[in-house]
Structure 1
Amino acid sequence: MTAGVTAAIPPFVIAAVLGAALLHATWNALVKGRARQGGPPDDPLPPMVLVVAGGALASALLLPFTAAPAPASWPFIAASSVAQVAYHLLLIETYAHGDMSHAYPLMRGSAPLLVALVNGVLTGERLNGAQWIAICLICGGVLAMLLGTRTPHAPQARRSQRRATAFALATACVIALYTMIDGAGVRRSGAPAAYTMWIFLLTGSAVTAWAARGRRRELLRLAGARPLLLPLGGVSTLGSYGIALWAMTLAPVAAIAALRETSILFATAIAALFLRERVGAWRLVAAGLIACGAVAMRLA
């Protein structure tokens, strides 16, 4: 285990990570949007791009006032930026095909499991019995989410649901990848805030440039119609991940990755209360299992 990182997570770090979880669920809800009455869900690409652009803009404004990351962390910044571009593109596809209450727990619940399994091989951190129990809870929640999802009768709806599940699981793999990259990189940086901001500046610039090629007018219209989306979404996503990376300098990566996924509970509540999605008993059980697994990972 890296020097200076303890197995026990201090209470103030737990509180900060829980706040980051709420921020993460909030900006995902902003991207997903609310389905129109009797119509399909909103296209998630324009709000996603505005949120990412907001994070890049906030980073550009704040970077001159922060210490630069250590040279040893720059390869990790580059690798993480590439992974996070892939993450945002996959997330757009995930929300284009499925409900947030279905896709979000799959994405966020599977990722800490992958981190716990692979990160130990790469870093030598070993899991104890209690941590394996936590992993089983997370796996059980993911399985319950898959088993509890009703199969639509219409063929097109079935295809859309299968695509949402596939994209959500692919997104989870990318989340695990950049989490492990950043868990190692931020500890080498000596400057967690600047490390995070450089990633968001590079990622946001790439995603915005890609989207602006064919949908510039649509992005401008949405920015005018929802003027708080860019600043609120940008600050939420930057703050959420920045807090998580800072916490990884003080506690094991796998534990923080799991604890952060208490955002699943926030996301399920937001999906039901504000996005008007139907959250059945199976989804509630699945979300609860995944959240319990995340908490158990912290207590292990």
Structure 2
Amino acid sequence: MGEQSLAIALGLISALTLALANMAVKRGHDILVARAILSGSAAVVIAPFALIVPFPDSATWAALAWSVPAHFAYQLCLIRAMQRGDLSLVFPIMRGVAPLLTAGFAMLVLREHLSVIGWLGLLVATGAVILFVLPARGVTFAAHPDKVALCWAFATAVGIALYNMADARGVRLAPGPFTYIVWLFMLDAVPITTTALLFRRRELGRAVRATWRHGAAAGALSSISFGSALYAFSLMEVAKVSALRETSVVWAALMGNRFLGEGFGARRIVAALMLAAGLVLLQFG
């Protein structure tokens, strides 16, 4: 298999496992604890490889110093979004808005210009986001039941845009891509686990017993998802890998409707398909 084909396969695997990992967290009884178990499990799985990969150099440590706080901010916003809203609503918003923010930043600040295909993708993806945000028929925006969840989902998207930029740089600066992947996973677990210990001290044992299966499954899936994406970054352009990975919005909409019993299934699935198509056009345009 050539590098391009391998990168495409890794991007698609990353998309499916990303949606599965977030569904596992959402099904947990305590989302903060489930997220902490996810990160801790991923760190335990990855840790032995620290003995094999080259040790991080100063450039890698500097990249990690930017990336770890960005990942922590993203996780805090993600937890709040998951606590307040359906997976099939907040996940596509957080994953879909991040590339739109990146494109807007490139146009306004870096003076980059989109092609006709890129503009079409931007319009389609933006329309899909609006379709997600619209309340049910007959409900005003003032009475929107998901206002708070949507705000947290948009904040999560900002975190995703920040860590994507940091990680794309870090994986290229490291002595090898696996060096960055391994150390990011190990360090990423520290802030969120500490937070769970601080805020769930009294009920932590009960929460862990109720949630550990979902958290551990999510941790294994997260390791596969993010590791696949980071390695794909070293084989193919970041924009193309990101476009493939964002097809996870379709999987999340389907899983939310099928396995979590979430409402507005048909509308959200159509919007997710539109969003994925728009993101692919945007990235490749």
Length-normalised TM-score, structure 2? 0.88
Letter of the structure 2 residue corresponding to residue 17 of structure 1: G
**Where does residue 82 of structure 1 map in the other structure?**
69
Over residues 74-132 of structure 1, what are the superposed CA-to-partner deviations in whole Å (9 max), with x where a residue is unaligned?
Answer: 21111110011111111111011111111111000011122234357888876433233
**Where does residue 295 of structure 1 map in the other structure?**
280
Does residue 18 of structure 1 match 2:22? no
Deviates further, 117-126 or 25-34:
117-126
**Where does residue 273 of structure 1 map in the other structure?**
258
Distance in 1 separating the partners of 2:244 and 2:63? 23
Letter of the structure 2 residue corresponding to residue 65 of structure 1: I
Does residue 264 of structure 1 match 2:249? yes
Distance in 2 separating the partners of 1:103 and 1:160? 13
Letter of the structure 2 residue corresponding to residue 79 of structure 1: W
Distance in 2 separating the partners of 1:207 and 1:150? 38
CA RMSD of aligned residues (A): 2.6
Distance in 2 separating the partners of 1:280 and 1:269? 8
Distance in 2 separating the partners of 1:65 and 1:141? 44
**Where does residue 181 of structure 2 map in the other structure?**
196
TM superposition shift of 1:188: 1.0
Aligned match of 1:177 in 148, 157, 162? 162
Over residues 195-245 of structure 1, what are the superposed CA-to-partner deviations in whole Å (9 max), with x where a residue is unaligned?
Answer: 122122112111101211242464433443455334322121122112111
Distance 1:89 1:202, change over 3 A: same
TM superposition shift of 1:260: 0.7
Length-normalised TM-score, structure 1? 0.84
Distance 1:48 1:131, change over 3 A: same
Letter of the structure 2 residue corresponding to residue 76 of structure 1: A
Over residues 163-202 of structure 1, what are the superposed CA-to-partner deviations in whole Å (9 max), with x where a residue is unaligned?
Answer: 1000000110110011011111211113222212212211
Does residue 60 of structure 1 match 2:43? no
Does residue 50 of structure 1 match 2:44? no
Kindly report which structure 2 residues correspond to 1:67-106, keeping only aligned pairs within 5 A, or say none: 67-106=54-93
Instruction: Say which SS state the counterpart of residue 10 (structure 1) adopts.
Output: helix
Gaps of 5+ in 2: none
Contact 1:44–1:92 under 8 Å retained in 2: yes
Aligned match of 1:107 in 63, 76, 94? 94
**Where does residue 196 of structure 2 map in the other structure?**
211
Distance 1:135 1:177, change over 3 A: same
Gaps of 5+ in 1: 1-8, 35-41
**Where does residue 172 of structure 2 map in the other structure?**
187
Distance in 2 separating the partners of 1:146 and 1:203? 31
Distance 1:218 1:23, change over 3 A: farther
Residue-pair matches, total: 282
